[in-house]
Amino acid sequence: MSQTITVTVGPKNAQFVGENHLALQAALDYVARLRGGTVRILPGTYQMGNSLFLRSNIHIVGSGDDTVLRKCASARTRLTEDTDWYDTAVKVKDPSIFTVGGGILLRGKSPHFDKSQFVKRTVTAIEGNVITIDRDPRENFWIDMKAEAATLFPVVTGDYVNDVVIEDLTIDGNRAENENLNGNYGGGIFIQDCDRITLRGITSRDNNSDGISYQVCDDVVVEGCRCLDNTDLGIHAGSGSQRTRVMGNTITGGSVGFFFCWGVRHGVVSDNTIQDANVGISIGHRDTDNLIQRNTVSGSKQHGILFREHPIGRRDPHRNVFEDNAILDCGARGDCVAIEMLGTARGVTLRGNRIGDTRRRSRIRKRIGLRIGPKIKSLKLQDNDFEKMDEDVVDLRGK
């Protein structure tokens, strides 16, 4: 194809004029109907009363810090009647919190299993206290399980779409006015079952969730983005994601800077700056054959790098390579361990890393560069540089 359509959307002087999710979605859907093209989002602050739903073969381009997609304040209300898995309407106590075209989250305890469940939908009609949704929930939400509805959703999301590029825009999660939404269901950007997604030059900040989360997605590229002061995970490479490339990003705050979820394999995480998270990089359940290189992890409150432990050893993170990373000033009190290796990981290489601590002692009891758990196997240590540690390596494997 020698030429595809380009449209603009903005507060004024645009082909699609508006300052909310409705105008943005209209532009995206128009371009998608023509088999793809580019949507340019002009400078402005866009109020997001629902997600921006991605479509395949779309290139979204903003104006950097001047293009802001801001999550509206969240609210919640109880369901007043049971909703079964096939229903397309829910009855709620306070319908005033919803708008037609807006987002709705159904959540509550499963009546059948010991777990919480979350379903995201769009409001298509409101009549009295009856909220009609675009699709049946495929889960049961019963009032005796304290089911409720809320205006919670990712700011940008995609399901079963491919070949998307998003660049140069800002997502503001408005954390002060939003409840927490688990990163397996939401975030500033949340995509699931999608392939070949590129996120470049995006700022995702202040989300009461993850900054960027993708689940069961192959060939995702996250490059030159900023994930700033999000409650949970900065970048969440979700379950089953293969060949991810995460390069040159800045991540600050949160519970984990970069999180390898389950079965994240053959990825490259390089040249990122991760600051002031509880854990800088966390790797665990069947996360194998990844290359983690040239990252700077500093100021982590617990560990710079954490190898999580699974009760069944074959599910631990094997054959990962960590090289030329800087792991600095990690841990807040007690024994401060920069790299904590739990579980039975085997075939891991730590090569050419700089591990140091420049702080005054304060509440630090002991600075430990690397602690190797008793079940770690076939670990390769090559040319790592330890600076100002009380113990460079604590090896619990015995002789």
Q: Comparing 89-93, 227-231, 267-271, 314-318, which segment has the lowest mean pLDDT?
A: 314-318
Question: Residues of the chain with pLDDT > 90: what percent?
Answer: 93
Give the model's confidence band at 364: pLDDT under 50 very low, under 70 low, under 90 confident, else very high: confident
Topology of the domain covering 5-70+153-395: Pectate Lyase C-like (2.160.20)
pLDDT at 217: 97
Give pLDDT tens digits for 323-351. 999 999 999 888 899 999 999 999 999 99
pLDDT at 319 over 90: yes
- Cβ 49 vs Cβ 155: under 8 Å: no
pLDDT at 285: 94
What rounded mean pLDDT belongs to the chain?
96
Return the closest-CA partner of residue 1 out of 55, 39, 37.
37
Give the long-range contacts of residues 137-141, CB within 8 A, separation 24 or more: 137/83, 137/85, 137/87, 137/106, 138/85, 139/85, 139/106, 139/110, 140/82, 140/83, 140/84, 140/85, 140/110, 140/111, 140/112, 141/79, 141/82, 141/83, 141/90, 141/106, 141/107, 141/108, 141/117
pLDDT at 312: 80
Give the residue extent of every domain in the chain: 5-70+153-395, 76-150
pLDDT at 1 over 60: no
pLDDT at 347: 96
- Cβ 353 vs Cβ 369: under 8 Å: no
Return the closest-CA partner of residue 350 out of 308, 399, 305.
305
Task: Calculate mean pLDDT across residues 222-227.
Answer: 98
Give pLDDT tens digits for 182-207. 999 999 999 999 999 999 999 999 99
pLDDT at 230: 98
Give pLDDT tens digits for 91-116. 999 999 999 999 999 999 999 988 89
d(CA 381, CA 268): 20
The whole-model pTM stands at: 0.95
d(CA 229, CA 233): 9
pLDDT at 335: 86
